[in-house]
Amino acid sequence: MRGTRTTNVDGEMIPSPCDPYGLYVQLSRAQSLDGITLLSKVRVRDLVGNRVPRDMIAAEERLELLSDATIKEAESCDWIDEM
């Protein structure tokens, strides 16, 4: 899975590294690697050094904080029965 954008590497415009989230989503749904066909060669930079964008890391951290706050608030409500 390659990015649809291009990146300038040593003066040459080449496809950008794959999106780590898109790659994860696609591969996580595969029950096995049987039948998976690569349409192009895997490049080292598609795997090594391919990082999650900072804004996505910040969004994940914010969602984690919101999740913790929601759980804490829900646990303090009387309408939740302890099992």
d(CA 79, CA 56): 35
Global confidence as pTM: 0.46
Asked whether the beta carbons of 45 and 32 are under 8 A apart, the reply is: no
Taking only the tens place, the pLDDT of each residue in 46-66 is 777 777 788 889 999 999 999
Taking only the tens place, the pLDDT of each residue in 1-40 is 555 677 788 888 877 777 777 777 777 888 888 877 767 6
